[in-house]
């Protein structure tokens, strides 16, 4: 009688453990799916934002905006000699430092870093 | 129905032990048996009670079901020694059966028994087998001596040959036959199982997998096309495609109207959509492909019956028409159909992946069951040598000049002198409606024209490089000359304008762009050398770009030259070259005498996100650096003193050469005297001349023929001048000296 009861208890415990294990697996899989969806959504959003950035930086748009502000293309050009220090100050103020000076990665480097991580996230 | 009899109190505690080990010699009778027997006794029925385990045979005898199957399956009765109990005067139930009158009919009756059984009988039979123990022998069963009748029947069968047909044979043979049959059957089964597990496993395995799984394609994203600074020229973004299943559409006309309103469809499209939705044989009809996600969300919010959507990539060109003749285009399925999109379609296109999900009985994907069986591999990205800003400047300058002249079209190419990298490449033209647009065709590579006087650079460089002429050699240059006089090849060649006889050196010939003077230079080296130098400068050879639709031009071998053909290539006629060949040729001078092939793709970005530079352009020495330097100086003079003054830029020393070629008429002939002429005017120059960084070609197709704007110096050179500041800014070109430009005179 004792053996039967003990066997039942062990069997019940094993079944309960199996159920718990399967439940944990399912939970982890759901969490994994959600993470994959998040990665995919983030990557799609990254693409959309890159498109918007490219459109905003497009010379066509800039020309239209400049024209709307009353700017016109220069008829003549004149080359003048500038003080390199003045040039550096202006570039730093405009956050447009050359790649060899700036610590910020270029847009290509940033893209490569993202692509190396996400690849083609499912 | 029989109920299980309640066991006696002494046995209740050990039912299993009793059933397994104890053997009750007395047959156990159920309450129903007792009641039935009591009832029969009240009726005076002397027949023994019929038990559930007894059945009627055809002869009216009763046969125990418990024994009947066993008997039916037993071999032919053979004389066997009587059981020990029989010898002691006891009989077993089976012995009783063997001795019963109905025993001779037992074999035939067994089949009747099976036929006459009902499911209820069978159930009762099973129950009775469990419950009923062998009964004590009845008086009826003792009526005939045991074994007498079987012996008699055996004797009858022996005397009756017709009945030997039913003789069952010896049990040994039957057992062997049964064994062999069984082995064969199991062998066949085993072989079939083996086949299913090995040779035929794939199909069944896939069939089983298909029943419970569903594969979904993971589309690989198409690679991005960047300019040299990392700005996107073409990229893929997620979009939504809306479709409809007509089988689920309840109101086709109303649905089409709602979709047309939400998506801005034309009335024709709305009508065709309504008609398509009325065709219930179809299950899929596109409504709109690759629409903006927000618009698609608004459509789906309408919750129209049968309308659904899915996500797919859409190819986007953020700059609009910018560099579209270079980038090319894709179809709606993101397959390259023109330009670089077509040329590099294989590496831009990744490898699709696959996701396997388990499905339920209704075909719905079970959440959390999906696994990526094969990951999608994204396409490689292209980093072009194109500079988006220079490209824009070139396009705008061309549009401005072509529309203001007006001309039929124009082409421009900006090349990095040392590397051959193409910084910009554009063509514009006037369409049928008279509007000037950037072309989708890359005319700088797909069309060829006679270069005109720009080709004189090669002739002069060749003559100088061969030592046939020195810069200080002077020539008497009339304004026309008759060649091959009094032969069938007689031809008059003239300079562009009448002039008195000039005494010109090589620089003078280039500055005045004299055809006669250039032919005199060519005479010094001969047609073979002329051909060699032109070939070495890249004429007649398709460039290394291998651009879709690229032409190699028309430049026949010098052996085939006849008559004036031996002379006209020296000043740019009788040879047809695309603009890419022409700019590459003049770039030899800028690059110190080294020809460098043009290059359009600077790097690729693989899956690891690392940019890998493409191979540098192939190069070869065409002329010596000394010759190149001398030609550089002469071409500066052309800009400062000659036909290319329109290309001058303050503070920047420019070197270059103009060209104005008369186009062939529709008949493929040069226009005769008095016939209207069309021109192809060009200017190719580089800057700063002291340390050339950029070489640029500008050509204007069909400038106004009757005006001074028809020449390369007036139609094309101003465009060059317009874009130099932008190029210098974008490339960071610093003038090597503060005294650049043409000297004041």
pLDDT digits (tens, 9 = 90+) for A66-95: 999 999 887 777 777 788 888 888 877 876
In B468-507, the residues whose Cβ lies within 8 Å of chain A are none
Of the candidate ranges B102-111, B312-321, B554-563, the one whose mean pLDDT is the lowest: B102-111
- A120 contacts chain B (CB < 8 A): yes
| B104 falls within a domain | yes
From the CA of B131, how many Å to the nearest CA of chain A?
28
Question: Strand (E) positions, B509-573?
Answer: none
Chain B: give the shortest CA distance to residue A48, in Å: 6
Lowest mean pLDDT among A64-73, B44-53, B115-124, B142-151: B115-124
What's the CA gap between B637 and B507, in Å, rounded? 7
Query: Residues B643-699: pLDDT tens digits?
Result: 999 999 988 999 999 999 998 888 888 888 778 889 999 999 999 999 999 999 999
Closest CB from A50, A116, A122 relative to B372: A122
Query: Can you give the C-alpha Rg of chain A in angstroms?
Result: 31
Mutate to test the interface with B, among A25, A111, A113, A116 (most CBs of B within 10 A): A111
Q: What percent of chain B has pLDDT over 70?
A: 77
The answer to whether residues B533 and B670 belong to one domain is yes
3-state secondary structure of B673: coil
Q: What is the pLDDT of residues B298-337, one digit of tens each?
A: 989 988 888 988 888 889 999 888 999 999 999 988 899 9
> Using the beta-carbon criterion (under 8 Å), do A111 and B230 form an inter-chain contact?
yes
Strand ranges (E), B639-693: 655-662, 679-687
Q: Which two tokens stand for residue B497?
A: 């304008």
* pLDDT of B29: 54
Question: Which residue from B530, B402, B560, B546 is spatially nearest to B466, judged by alpha carbons?
Answer: B530
Q: What is the model's pLDDT at position A102?
A: 61
Range name among B169-183, B517-531, B690-704 with the lowest pLDDT average = B169-183
Average pLDDT over residues B172-180: 89
What 3-state DSSP class applies to B351? strand
Looking up tokens 């618009």 gives B295
A55–chain B Cβ distance below 8 A for any pair: yes
Which residue from A minimizes the CA distance to B216?
A122
Write the CB contacts of B20 (distance below 8 Å, at least 6 apart in sequence).
none
Average of pLDDT values for A19-36? Answer: 88
Structure tokens at B32: 């129903």
Residue numbers in A near B393 (CB within 8 A): 59
Among A80, A119, A121, most B C-beta atoms within 10 A, so best to mutate, is A119
SS3 B580: helix
Whole-number Å distance between alpha carbons of A47 and A55: 12
Query: For residue B257, what are the CA distances in angstroms to A58, B248, B263, B290, B294?
Result: 37, 16, 10, 20, 19
What residue spans define the domains of chain A? Answer: 2-118
Residues with Cβ < 8 Å from B240, sequence gap 6 or more? B290, B291, B292, B293, B295, B296, B297, B309, B310, B311, B312
Residues 652-681 of B with CB under 8 A from A: 652
What is the three-state SS of B220-239? CCCCCEECCCCCEEEEEEEE
B319 touches A: beta carbon within 8 Å: yes
Residues B679 and B711: their CA atoms lie apart, in Å, by: 8
- Residue B102 reports pLDDT greater than 80: no
Residue B345 shares a structural domain with residue B394:
no
E strand intervals along B292-444: 307-316, 329-330, 336-338, 353-358, 371-374, 381-384, 409-416, 422-430, 436-438
How far is A19 from chain B, CA to nearest CA, in Å? 16
- Residue B1 is assigned to a structural domain of this protein: no
Please indicate if any CB of chain B lies within 8 Å of the CB of A7: no
Task: Please give the residue that has the higher pLDDT: either B740 or B501.
Answer: B501
Structural contact between residues B367 and B688, judged by C-beta atoms closer than 8 angstroms: no
Whether B579 and B631 map to the same domain: the answer is yes
Out of B232, B375, B611, name the one closest to residue A50 (CB).
Answer: B232
The reply to whether B220 touches chain A by the CB within 8 Å rule is yes
CB A26 to CB B368 under 8 A? yes
Which member of A57, A60, A78 has the closest CB to residue B650?
A78
Question: B546 lies in which domain range?
Answer: 389-731
Listed in sequence order, the residues at least 6 apart from B319 whose beta carbon sits closer than 8 Å to its beta carbon are A54, A58, A59, A60, B233, B388, B392
Residue with tokens 């129209």: B304
- The residue of chain A with its CA nearest to that of B221 is A120
Same domain, B138 and B71: yes
> Residue B406, preceding bond cis, omega within 30 degrees?
yes
DSSP B11-41: GTT-HHHHHHT---SSPP--HHHHHHHHHHH
The answer to whether residues B336 and B423 belong to one domain is: no
Least CA distance to A46: which residue of chain B?
B237
Residue A70 touches chain B, beta carbons under 8 Å: no
Residue B207 lies in a domain: no
Does the pLDDT value for residue B411 go beyond 90? yes
Report the range of poorest mean pLDDT among A32-36, B152-156, B436-440: B152-156
End-to-end CA distance of chain B: 134
Residue B170 has pLDDT above 60, yes or no: yes
Chains A & B: contacts with CB separation below 8 Å: 120
For chain B positions 599-638, those within 8 Å of chain A (CB to CB) are 605, 607-611
pLDDT at B128 over 70: no
Q: Encode B274-286: b = buried (16+ Cβ within 10 Å), e = exposed.
A: bebbeeeeeeebe
Choose the closest CB to B230 out of A63, A81, A108: A108
Region for residue B24 given its phi and psi (left: phi exceeds 0; alpha: psi -120 to 50; beta: otherwise): beta
Rounded Cα distance between B167 and B154, Å, is 11
Which chain A residues are closer than 8 Å to B372 by Cβ? Answer: 122
For residue B669, count CB atoms less than 10 angstroms from its CB and return exposed for 0-12, middle for 13-18, buried for 19 or more. Answer: exposed
Contact call for B319 and A108, based on CB within 8 A = no
- Assess whether pLDDT exceeds 90 at residue B714: yes
Strands B54-56, B371-374: parallel, antiparallel or unpaired by DSSP?
unpaired
The chain-wide mean pLDDT, for chain B, equals 80
What is the β-pairing status of strands B422-430 and B601-605? unpaired
* Sheet of strand B371-374: strand arrangement: B213-218, B353-358, B371-374
**Separation in Å, CA of A55 to nearest CA in chain B:** 5
Beta carbons within 10 angstroms of residue B568's beta carbon: 21
Pick the residue from chain B with its C-alpha nearest to A25: B368
Q: Are B596 and B619 in contact (CB under 8 A)?
A: yes
| DSSP 3-state of B200 | coil
The angle at the Cα of B423, spanning B418 to B427, to the nearest 5 degrees, equals: 130
Would an 8 Å CB–CB cutoff place A104 in contact with chain B? Answer: no
Cβ of residue A74 closer than 8 Å to a chain B Cβ:
yes
Q: Is residue B316 part of a domain?
A: yes
**Across A11-20, B484-493, B633-642, least confident range:** B484-493
Instruction: Indicate whether B56 pLDDT > 50.
Output: no
Q: Which of A54, A116, A122 lies closest to B218 in CB terms?
A: A122
User: Tell me, what's the pLDDT at A101?
Assistant: 62
**Cα B233–Cα B236–Cα B238 angle in degrees, nearest 5:** 145
The answer on B592 and B450 residing in a single domain is yes
| Confidence (pLDDT) at B132 | 43
Nearest to B138 by CA among B185, B184, B100, B83: B100
Q: What's the rounded Cα separation, in Å, for the pair B22 and B27?
A: 13
Condensed to tens digits (0 to 9), the pLDDT of residues B230-265 reads 999 999 988 889 999 988 888 889 999 999 998 888
Q: Is B381 on the interface with A (CB under 8 A)?
A: yes
Cβ–Cβ gap B238/A47 under 8 Å: yes
pLDDT at B136 over 80: no
What is the DSSP secondary structure assignment for residue B219, as one 8-state letter? Answer: P
Owner of token pair 């690849």: A119
pLDDT at B131: 43
For the stretch B358-393, pLDDT in tens is 888 777 777 667 777 888 888 999 999 999 999 999
CATH number of residue B274's parent domain: 3.90.1310.10
Position B205 in a domain:
no
Task: Specify the range with the lowest mean pLDDT, choosing from B354-358, B452-456, B532-536.
Answer: B354-358
Choose among B545, B527, B546: nearest CA to B535.
B527
A108, B608: Cβ pair inside 8 Å? no
Residue B39 has a pLDDT of 58
Q: With an 8 Å Cβ cutoff, is B572 touching chain A? A: no
Q: How large is the angle between the packed helices A2-57 and A59-68, nearest 10 degrees? A: 50
Residues 688-727 in B contacting A (C-alpha not used; CB under 8 Å) = 724-725
Q: Give the pLDDT of residue B64.
A: 43
B410 lies in some domain: yes
Domain boundary among B140, B157, B174: B157
| Domain presence at residue B13 | no
Query: Which among B141, B157, B173 is the end of a domain?
Result: B157
Task: Please tell me the distance from the alpha carbon of residue B650 to that of residue B304, in angstroms, as a whole number.
Answer: 67
Cα diameter, chain A: 107
B234 vs B353: CA distance, rounded Å: 23
Residue B236: phi and psi, rounded to 5, are: -105, 135
A58 to chain B: which residues are within 8 Å by CB? 318-320, 322, 388
B226 in reach of chain A (CB within 8 A): yes
CA distances from B291 to A74, B238, B314, B341 (A): 40, 9, 9, 21
B310 and B424 in a single domain? The answer is: no
Nearest to A59 among B238, B322, B735 (CB): B322
- Rounded (10°) CA dihedral B567, B570, B571, B572: 100
Asked whether residue B581 falls in the same domain as residue B723, the answer is yes
Beta bridge partner(s), residue B503: B476
The domain boundary residue, chosen from B157, B184, B204: B157
Q: For residue B218, what are the CA distances in angstroms to B153, B351, B355, B364, B376?
A: 82, 9, 7, 18, 6
Buried residues in B693-731 as b, exposed as e (16+ CB within 10 A): bbbbbbbbbbbeeeeebbbbbbbbbbbbbbbbbbbbebe
The per-residue pLDDT for B166 is 57
The tokens for B15 are 């039912």
For residues B437 and B332, state if they share a domain: no
- C-beta atoms of A29 and B611 within 8 A: no
> How close A52 gets to chain B, by Cα (Å)?
8
Q: What local confidence, expressed as pLDDT, does residue B150 receive?
A: 59
Say if residue B427 is in the same domain as residue B291: no
Record: contact B372-A106, CB cut-off 8 A: no
Classify residue B717 as left (phi > 0), alpha (psi -120 to 50) or beta. Answer: alpha
Does position B13 have pLDDT exceeding 60, yes or no? no
CA separation for the pair B651, B532 (Å, rounded): 37
| Higher per-residue pLDDT: B317 or B49 | B317
Nearest CA in chain B to A56: B318
Q: Look at residue B162 in the predicted model and tell me its pLDDT.
A: 52
Range 16-45 of A in CB contact (< 8 A) with B: 26, 29-30, 33, 44
Residue B738 domain-assigned (yes or no): no
Helix runs in chain A, H state only: 2-57, 59-68, 84-93, 107-118
A84 touches chain B (CB under 8 A): no
Is B13 an interface residue toward A (CB < 8 Å)?
no
* Residue A105 touches chain B, beta carbons under 8 Å: no
Q: Are residues B105 and B229 in the same domain?
A: no
Query: Helix or strand or coil: residue B381?
Result: strand
Q: Does B733 touch chain A (CB under 8 A)?
A: no
Contact across the interface for B609 and A115, Cβ inside 8 Å: yes
Task: Provide the domain count of chain B.
Answer: 3
Indicate whether B108 and B247 sit together in one domain: no
Residues of A in contact with B232 (CB under 8 A): 50-51, 53-54
End-to-end CA distance of chain A: 55
Q: Does A102 touch chain B (CB under 8 A)?
A: no
Q: Does residue B140 surpass a pLDDT of 80?
A: no
């Amino acid at each position: 009688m004792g053996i039967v009861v003990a066997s039942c208890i062990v069997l019940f415990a094993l079944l309960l453990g199996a159920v718990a294990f399967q439940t944990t697996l399912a939970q982890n899989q759901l969490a994994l799916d959600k993470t994959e969806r998040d990665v995919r959504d983030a990557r799609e959003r990254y693409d959309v934002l890159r498109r918007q950035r490219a459109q905003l930086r497009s010379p066509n748009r800039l020309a239209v905006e400049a024209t709307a502000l009353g700017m016109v293309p220069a008829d003549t050009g004149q080359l003048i000699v500038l003080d390199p220090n003045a040039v550096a100050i202006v570039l730093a103020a405009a956050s447009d430092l050359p790649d060899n000076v700036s610590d910020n990665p270029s847009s290509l480097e940033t893209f490569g870093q993202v692509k190396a991580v996400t690849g083609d996230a499912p | 129905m029989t109920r299980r009899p309640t066991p006696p109190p002494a046995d209740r505690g050990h039912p299993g032990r009793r059933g397994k080990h104890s053997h009750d010699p007395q047959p156990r009778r159920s309450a129903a048996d007792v009641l039935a027997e009591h009832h029969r006794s009240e009726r005076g029925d002397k027949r023994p009670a019929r038990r559930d385990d007894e059945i009627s045979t055809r002869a009216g005898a009763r046969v125990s079901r418990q024994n009947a199957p066993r008997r039916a399956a037993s071999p032919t009765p053979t004389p066997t020694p009587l059981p020990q109990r029989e010898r002691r005067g006891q009989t077993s139930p089976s012995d009783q059966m063997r001795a019963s009158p109905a025993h001779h009919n037992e074999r035939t009756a067994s089949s009747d028994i099976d036929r006459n059984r009902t499911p209820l009988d069978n159930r009762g039979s099973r129950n009775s087998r469990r419950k009923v123990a062998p009964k004590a022998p009845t008086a009826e069963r003792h009526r005939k001596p045991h074994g007498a009748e079987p012996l008699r029947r055996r004797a009858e069968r022996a005397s009756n040959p017709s009945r030997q047909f039913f003789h069952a044979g010896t049990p040994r043979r039957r057992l062997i036959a049964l064994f062999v049959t069984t082995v064969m059957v199991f062998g066949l089964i085993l072989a079939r199982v083996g086949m299913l597990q090995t040779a035929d496993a794939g199909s069944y395995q896939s069939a089983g997998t298909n029943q419970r799984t569903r594969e979904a394609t993971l589309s690989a994203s198409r690679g991005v096309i960047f300019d040299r600074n990392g700005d996107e020229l073409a990229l893929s973004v997620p979009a939504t495609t809306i479709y409809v299943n007509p089988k689920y559409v309840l109101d086709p006309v109303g649905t089409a109207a709602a979709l047309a309103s939400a998506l801005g469809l034309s009335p024709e499209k709305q009508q065709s959509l309504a008609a398509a939705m009325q065709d219930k044989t179809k299950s899929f009809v596109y409504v709109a492909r690759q629409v903006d996600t927000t618009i698609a969300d608004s459509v789906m919010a309408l919750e129209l019956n049968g309308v659904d959507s899915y996500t797919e990539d859409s190819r986007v060109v953020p700059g609009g028409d910018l560099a579209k003749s270079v980038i090319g285009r894709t179809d709606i399925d993101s397959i390259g159909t023109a330009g670089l999109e077509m040329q590099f379609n294989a590496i831009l296109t990744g490898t699709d992946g696959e996701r396997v999900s388990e499905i339920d009985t209704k075909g719905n994907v079970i959440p959390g069951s999906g696994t990526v069986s094969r990951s999608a591999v994204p396409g490689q990205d292209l980093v072009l040598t194109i500079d988006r800003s220079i490209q824009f400047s070139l396009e705008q300058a061309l549009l401005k000049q072509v529309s203001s002249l007006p001309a039929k079209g124009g082409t421009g190419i900006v090349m990095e002198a040392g590397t051959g990298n193409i910084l910009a490449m554009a063509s514009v033209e006037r369409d049928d409606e008279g509007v000037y647009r950037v072309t989708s065709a890359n005319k700088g590579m797909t069309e060829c024209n006679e270069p005109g006087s720009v080709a004189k650079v090669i002739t002069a460089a060749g003559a100088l490089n061969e030592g046939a002429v020195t810069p200080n050699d002077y020539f008497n240059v009339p304004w026309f000359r008759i060649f091959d006089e009094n032969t069938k090849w007689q031809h008059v060649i003239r300079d562009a304008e009448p002039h008195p006889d000039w005494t010109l050196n090589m620089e003078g010939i280039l500055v005045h762009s004299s055809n006669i003077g250039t032919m005199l230079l060519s005479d010094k080296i001969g047609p073979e050398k002329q051909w060699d130098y032109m070939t070495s400068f890249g004429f007649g050879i398709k460039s290394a770009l291998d651009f879709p639709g690229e032409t190699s031009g028309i430049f026949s071998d010098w052996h085939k030259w006849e008559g004036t053909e031996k002379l006209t290539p020296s000043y740019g006629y009788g040879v047809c070259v695309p603009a890419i060949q022409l700019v590459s040729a003049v770039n030899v001078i800028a690059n110190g005498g080294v020809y460098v092939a043009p290059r359009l793709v600077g790097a690729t970005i693989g899956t690891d996100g690392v940019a890998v530079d493409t191979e540098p352009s192939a190069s070869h020495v065409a002329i010596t650096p000394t010759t190149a330097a001398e030609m550089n100086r002469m071409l500066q003079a052309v800009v400062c003193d000659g036909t290319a003054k329109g290309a001058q830029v303050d503070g920047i020393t420019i070197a270059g050469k103009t060209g104005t070629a008369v186009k062939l008429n529709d008949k493929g002939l040069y226009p005769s005297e008095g016939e209207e002429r069309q021109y192809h005017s060009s200017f190719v120059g580089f800057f700063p001349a002291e340390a050339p960084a950029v070489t640029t070609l500008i050509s204007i197709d069909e400038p106004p023929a009757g005006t001074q704007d028809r020449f390369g110096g007036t139609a094309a050179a101003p465009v060059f001048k317009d874009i130099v500041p932008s190029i210098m800014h974008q490339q960071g070109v610093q003038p090597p000296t503060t005294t650049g430009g043409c000297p004041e005179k």
